[in-house]
Structure 1
């Protein structure tokens, strides 16, 4: 298990605008969303564990966050345009990122995983909750229109 393989729109190599919605998602793989199962064995005993992500908390770098109970939907410019995500998104930044370090907001994705384990040959079972983090950054600009 590891943190989210972050997908975000606008693309971190470009910039977004104040007030426009932000799309958030992770690639869905066994290591980034699950399910994932692993077994370790010694003679006469084996332990199996199964993990599944249950949510991702997106700390957006401006003091606000959003929690999604799904991996989100990848943004597609042709079909989504300027619309907000219906599965996992952020309504938009209210101020540009120019005052932030490197002029960018740091976005931290914290994935919560539920792990169940059981011992074959020993009878024990249990459950754990663990978190994994990953991060990216995004530049947000401001567009002002002057009419005369």
Structure 2
């Protein structure tokens, strides 16, 4: 069945409208709403409105070595996200008689490294600094390439990160959770083979 999308409509897997929302039937007719003066809106319905109005920040990818330099095969690459965006984001929706606040919390970052490998990090990752050895591994979010990106488009791997957010809401004497909102970013990363220098 093909549903007609309405402004602000949120959909789940396979294009099915999320529960608790109004949507048009396939024939274009709108479902009957409550009459004025009737029962107050369900908090779960107002929560969906608050979720629609959430503005989640886009991830900002950071690596060491920096993306302007080539990574080296068999030398650890550090990945992390700007910590400014790794914090809860809240939004409150109000309708007559009901106020609901939804809070999105970043839970994990899934990195696809472009070489067929996937790395799942439970947090934003640790930013590299001079206090670490140059060839040390990240304590919580890193990857070591075993082959170069030679022969790939623009001689680089395309890496991407998907941040998973869980939403908790409360209001109107009720509370609930909506898992699995996502934000994404990607960038190109060159990986080179280290060349040995023989000195006679």
TM over 0.5, yes or no? yes
Cα displacement (A) at 1:146:
4.9
In structure 1, list runs of 5 or more residues that go unmatched.
Answer: none
Is the CA contact 1:118–1:124 (under 8 Å) kept in the aligned structure 2? yes
| TM-align CA RMSD | 1.5
State the partner residue of 2:74: 19
State the partner residue of 1:100: 152
Residue aligned with 2:154, SS: helix
State the partner residue of 1:125: 175
In structure 2, list runs of 5 or more residues that go unmatched.
Answer: 1-55
Cα displacement (A) at 1:118:
2.4
Cα displacement (A) at 1:124:
4.2
Match of 2:193 among 138, 142, 147: 142
The runs of at least 4 aligned residues of structure 1 exceeding 3 Å deviation read: none
Kindly indicate whether structure 1 or structure 2 has the higher relative contact order, using CA contacts under 8 Å at least 6 residues apart. 1
Residue aligned with 1:47, SS: strand
Q: Normalized against structure 1, the TM-score is what? A: 0.88
After superposition, where does 1:25-44 map in structure 2 within 5 Å?
25-29=80-84, 32-44=85-97
Match of 1:47 among 100, 118, 135: 100
- Asked which structure has the greater CA Rg, the reply is 2
Confirm whether residue 110 of structure 1 aligns to residue 162 of structure 2: yes
Equivalences, count: 142
Which structure has the highest strand share of the two?
1
